[in-house]
Amino acid sequence: MDVFIVKDYDAISERAAEILSGAITQNPRLVLGLATGSTPEGLYARLIQAHRAQGLDFSQVTTFNLDEYVGLGPEHEQSYRRFMDEKLFGGVNVRPDNTHVPNGLAVPLLQECRDYERMIREAGGIDIQVLGIGRDGHIAFNEPGTSLGSRTHVAGLTRQTIEDNARFFDSPDDVPRFAISMGIGTIMEARKCLMLASGAGKAEAVRACIEGPITSMITASALQMHPDTVAILDEAAAAKLDRADFYRWQDESRHLIEERL
Ligand code: PGA
């Protein structure tokens, strides 16, 4: 895993936006995997800025989101479809038909999961997958104990995740207990993963993900087996890493070989 430690949340968003803008410029038909949550909001704001100011073109880009709450429709204030429309899709020129978020109202749900996998395959697979990380080490809604080979599935949320997400709902009782979520196996097939983490609340999960053993108890740790994962962390999220000095040193030294890569 390539680990970059930057000063603060703004710097995470900036660096991630540079990577995605560069990738879209290089391949206008990029298939982008996207995440919801507080962490990628700054990244999405910068992509909208890049679209407006520099004409970053999303007209041929295809997107697949990681997950959606079961039972929430696209119009629901807290649905991830609505989040994406508001935070990114509405501000860039992506074609609505090319944006995919699992349908949380689908019946049967298992068919929706299979269809989602098929659509990803038919799009040629995901080129870059944006990821946040939960305090319990989850990526997407792959909570501790989820198979590291899992595909898109109906995932149960832990009490901790429900509490963490309750801030967006009137009460914890309103947070859905299930979601449709890409599996770890699905995420691992993305050609590149971009994991973002900010704040002291994520420091333990980040340590376990990057430096702990690979285990389904920390599903993000599967990324240690991924051939091209970039983790962008702020100082607070990186605070528990044993090898933080090494990651910083690598980053500082990169210019020495950049031209040869
Ligand atoms: P957050 O959520 O970005 O809102 O912290 C991350 C996650 O739970 O995956």
Give 109-133 pLDDT, tens digit per residue.
999 999 999 999 999 999 999 999 9
Q: Is 203 within 8 Å of 236 (Cβ atoms)?
A: yes
76: in domain? yes
Give, for ligand 1, the residue of 38, 160, 194, 198 to mutate: max count of ligand atoms closer than 8 Å to Cβ: 38
260: in domain? no
| AA identity, residue 183 | G
Query: Cβ contacts of residue 239 below 8 Å, gap of 6+?
Result: 200, 203
pTM of the model: 0.97
Give 189-246 pLDDT, tens digit per residue.
999 999 999 999 999 999 999 999 999 999 999 999 999 999 999 999 999 999 999 9
Q: Which residues are catalytic?
A: 67, 136, 138, 143
115: in domain? yes
Average pLDDT over residues 151-162: 95
CATH number of the domain enclosing 193:
3.40.50.1360
The kind and range of the H/E element at 90 are none
53: in domain? yes
Average pLDDT over residues 143-152: 98
How far, in Å, is the centroid of ligand 1 from the Cα of 87? Answer: 15
* Mean per-residue pLDDT of the chain: 97
Kindly list the distances between the CA atom of residue 248 and the CA atoms of 9, 134, 232, 235, in Å, as whole numbers in the listed order. 17, 24, 11, 11
Q: Is 232 within 8 Å of 17 (Cβ atoms)?
A: no
Range of the domain at 44: 2-255
How many separate domains does the chain show? 1
261: in domain? no
Q: Is 38's C-beta closer than 6 angstroms to any atom of ligand 1? A: yes
Nearest residue by C-alpha to atom 7 in ligand 1: 134
Burial (CB count within 10 angstroms: exposed 0-12, middle 13-18, buried 19+), residue 175: buried
